[in-house]
Structure 1
Amino acid sequence: MKTPGEVLREGELEKRSDSLFQLWKKKRGVLTPDRLRLFPAGPGARPKELRFHSILKVDCVERTGKYIYFTIVTTDRKEIDFRCPGESCWNAAITLALIDFQNRRALEDFRGRQERAAPAAQPESRAARAP
């Protein structure tokens, strides 16, 4: 089982800015089982976090000669554009970590529903056995 603080992948990727000129800015990415942290190039700046519970999907994957371009779509339908060198495959690593997170969450939800339903079902089964 993966721990939340475990680093799955670390390295450079680029994020397109929201500014008018939409420049590509280099970031150091740190991928863990529950989030993607983006550290700016400058020292001392705080990282931005994309927690997987707020990510809907990784979309719009396109490969050019040098880069892979991809978009992370958040649950509030915000789109964040990234690119990475083709050999780094950040898009695949993020997609796999997101799927793993969503699967773990679905299992937790399922187990929670089973636990809530189990106490209600037990009295009926005992009553059915009584003479």
Structure 2
Amino acid sequence: MSFQSKAMRDGLLEKRSSGLLQLWKKKRCVLTDEGLRLHTCKGGGDAPGTAFSSKAKELRFDRMATVDCVEHKRGLVYFTVVMATGKEIDFRCPQDGTAWNAEIALALVRFKNLQAVNHLHVAKNESSLQQN
């Protein structure tokens, strides 16, 4: 399943690997109104000609619980995306400019609010049908 939504932000983040060494790996991240798409860097990541994989890992908002654990250290912002399953995914980004963690958290809240409003409309419609 691929995102068909418009990109709200596109840039580099570092994601901590889940392996034994837990290395930080650069990812090209695309934030949309449905979630976060992570592309693997095929090279240095900072170079102008850096290539990115066409295949992406998708962290969909409907499977996310929260964005938390923000820490500012040595010019970097560290944060964690917590999935509904309890799995935690650690990220870091430069502290300058608009922080990714804030944009992801705001997009997640917007998604959850729209989801709640849609569920409310469905419940009202079902209630109206039962009364008739």
Q: Same fold (TM over 0.5)?
A: yes
- Partner of residue 110, structure 1: 120
Report the AA paired with residue 108 of structure 1.
N
Which residue of 2 is the match for residue 11 of structure 1? 11
May I ask how many residue pairs the two structures share in their alignment?
Answer: 120
2:92 to 83, 86, 90: 83
CA contact (8 A) 2:39 2:53 kept: no
Corresponding residue number in structure 2 for 1:49? 58
1:69-104 deviation per Cα after TM superposition (whole angstroms, max 9, x unaligned): 000000000000000001240000000000000000
- Between stretches 62-71 and 100-109, larger displacement belongs to 62-71
Name the residue aligned to 1:68: 77
Give the share of equivalent positions with the same residue, in percent: 45
Q: Give CA deviations for 1:40-87 in whole Å, capped at 9, x if unaligned.
A: 002445110000000000010111131000000000000000000012
3-state DSSP class of the match of 1:25? strand
Structure 2 distance, partners of 1:68, 1:58, is 13
TM-score by length of 1: 0.87
* Superposed structure 1 runs of 4+ greater than 2 Å apart: none
Is residue 41–residue 53 contact of structure 2 (8 Å, CA) maintained in 1? no
Partners in 1 of 2:26 and 2:11 — Cα distance?
A: 10
Unaligned regions of 5+ residues in structure 1, if any?
A: 123-131
Instruction: Decide which structure has the larger Cα Rg and report it.
Output: 1
1:36 matches 2:22: no
Task: Write out per-residue CA displacement over residues 101-123 of structure 1, whole angstroms, 9 at most, x where no aligned residue.
Answer: 0000000000000000012224x
Bigger strand fraction: 2
Match runs of 1:83-102 below 5 Å: 83-87=92-96, 88-102=98-112
